[in-house]
Amino acid sequence: MSSRISYAFFFVFLLLAGALGALYYVKGEWNPPTLSVTPDQSTAGASTVFTVTAADADSGLRLLHVTATQNGNTIDIVKKDLPEGTRDLTETFSLPKSISNGAVTLAVTVKDASWHRLGHGNRADFKRDMTVDSKPPVVSVLSGQHNVNQGGTGLLVYSTDEELGKSGVRMGKHFFPGYPYQPGKYLCFFAIPYNADVKALTPALVASDLAGNEVSIGFFFNPRVKAFKHDSINVSDNFLQSKMGQFTQYYPDQTQPIDIFLKVNSELRAKNVGYLLQLGRDTVPQKLWDGPFIRLPNSAPMAGFADNRTYMHGGQAVDNQTHLGVDLASLAASPVPAGNTGRVVLAEFMGIYGNVVVLDHGFGVQSLYSHLSEIHVHKGETVQRGQIIGKTGATGMAGGDHLHFGMLVSGLEVQPIEWWDPHWIKDNITSKLQ
C-alpha cells in the first residue's frame, strides 16, 4: 500500500471522527428532563386522575414509564416510546382496577433522547408511597327535621367515618358547601332558592373523601311553598336625572338615562348578584354570630324579600326584576348596626347596591347592608353585634334614604325575616347544634 493511499484513509478517518464528535456533542447533553406528578396527596382512589408533566428542552423526551407496586408485584400503567422531538409531555392516568385497597408505591420515570449513559439517556424519577382507598365514606344525617321555606334557610348536621375532602347539599343547580364543625361532624347551611320549582326539588347530601370516593344520600326534607308579592315601580324622569350619573362609569357609551337604567337594572344587577355568589366562599368554618340578627331600629318595612317588580316608564312596562332583600326606612342617615358579630368581607361602592357592607358570620352565612351614605368599617375588620357600621342613604339604585338589608347563604340571597326571629333560630339552628 502506498503512503498516498494511507494518508487518504487517515484523512477520511479524521472526517468521520469529527462528524461523530459533532453529532455526539449535539445529541449527548447531560441535562435531565423535568418531571412532576399531581395531585400532591398520599391517598388515592379509583376516581383519582393523576397528571404527569415532563419536559426536556435539549434532546427531547424519549420514554415515559408509570408503574404501581403492591405486595411485591409491579404493574405497568403507562409505558410508551415518545416520538422524536417531544419537548413537552402531559399525560393523565388512573390506578388500574387490579390494585386493591392498602399500600401502593407509584413510580414514574421519563428518559430523554441524549446519547449519554450508553444511549440510555438522562432520566428523571418520581416515587410516592400511597394508600389506596376505593370505599366511599359512610355519612349519617344527625339533624332530624328540615322544614324549609321557599326562599328560606335550612341546616343539615352530619357525621362521617373518615375525613371529607368536599361535602354539602345539592339543591337543584345550587351547591351549598358543608364545613367541619366538631371532630367527625360537619354542618351545612343550605337554602331553597326563591325561584325554585319547590315540588320538583330532591336535595341530596353529597360527600367525598380525600381519595375522591363520593356518596350521595337523601334526607328528610319538608319544603314549604311561599307566594311572593308583585309590585309595580314607576321610573320617573326625575329619578333617572338624579340617579343615573353614578352609573355612567359602567356604561360610558349610553347617552339616554333610560338606556343606562335598563343596562344597570339587568346587566349590572346580574353581575353584582354573581359577585355575591363568589363572595359566599369567603367564609370561616366557625359560628361567629350568636342570637337573633338585629333589625334596623325604629324602621318601617318598605319592600319585602323576593318581591317581583315591574318597572314602568312613560306608561309602559320596561323591565321586570326580583328584589332580594328587605327595605327598611327610618330617619335619613340613621346609624346602621351590624346584625350580628362577623368579619367585614366587602365595604365599598358596588353597582346597584351603592355603598355596601357585607359581613361574614361563618359557615357561609353572611349579611348585607346596602345604599349606605357612609361606611364606617374596613374589609378584614371584625365587628361586634350592634356595632355601627355606617349610615343609611340612597346610593346605588335607591329612590330615597333607606337600608336594604340582605341575608345570604353561600352567596345566595335568602329570606332575612327568619334571621330576626329568635324562635326560628332556636328551632332550626341552635337546637341542632347541641
Cα torsion for 385, 191, 194, 292, to the nearest 10°? -20
Residue facing Zn ion at closest CB distance: 404
User: Could you tell me the sign of the dihedral formed by the alpha carbons of 406, 409, 414, 420, in that order?
Assistant: negative
Options 202-210, 243-251, 319-327, 408-416: segment touching Zn ion (CB under 5 A): 319-327
Kindly state the smallest distance separating residue 53's Cβ from Zn ion, in Å.
50
User: The dihedral of CA 376, 378, 384, 385: what is its sign?
Assistant: positive
**Does residue number 162 form part of the binding site for Zn ion (CB under 5 A)?**
no
> For cell 396527596, what's the residue?
41
Letter string b/e over residues 257-287, b meaning 16 or more CB atoms within 10 A of that residue's CB: beebbbbbbeebbeebbebbeebbeebeeeb
Using the minimum distance from each CB to Zn ion, give the nearer residue, 201 or 233.
233
Q: Of 362 and 406, which CB lies nearer to Zn ion in the complex structure?
A: 406
Please, which residue, 112 or 327, has the CB nearer to Zn ion? 327
Closest contact distance (angstroms) between CB of 323 and Zn ion is 6
Residue range at the interface with Zn ion (CB under 5 A); choices 247-255, 322-330, 342-350, 423-431: 322-330
3-class DSSP state of 13: helix
Within positions 398 to 417, which residues make up the interface with Zn ion, using CB under 5 A? 404
Q: Look at residue 214 and give its three-state secondary structure.
A: strand
The answer to whether the beta carbons of residues 36 and 108 sit under 8 Å apart is no
CA angle 130, 134, 136 (to 5 degrees): 125
- Are 67 and 74 in contact by the 8 Å Cβ rule? The answer is yes
Choose one: 120-128, 173-181, 217-225, 320-328; the region binding Zn ion (CB under 5 A): 320-328
Residue 327 binds to Zn ion (criterion: CB under 5 A)? yes
56 versus 327: smaller Cβ distance to Zn ion? 327
Residue among 70 and 392 whose Cβ is closer to Zn ion = 392
Give the nearest distance from C-beta 127 to Zn ion in angstroms: 59
User: Which region, judged by CB under 5 A, interacts with Zn ion, from 74-82, 87-95, 293-301, 397-405?
Assistant: 397-405
Nearer to Zn ion, 171 or 389 (CB): 389
* Closest separation in Å from C-beta 303 to Zn ion: 6
Q: Where are the beta strands (DSSP E) in 214-350?
A: 214-217, 222-224, 230-234, 300-303, 307-313, 316-323, 326-329, 335-337, 342-349
Residues that bind Zn ion (CB under 5 A): 325, 327, 404
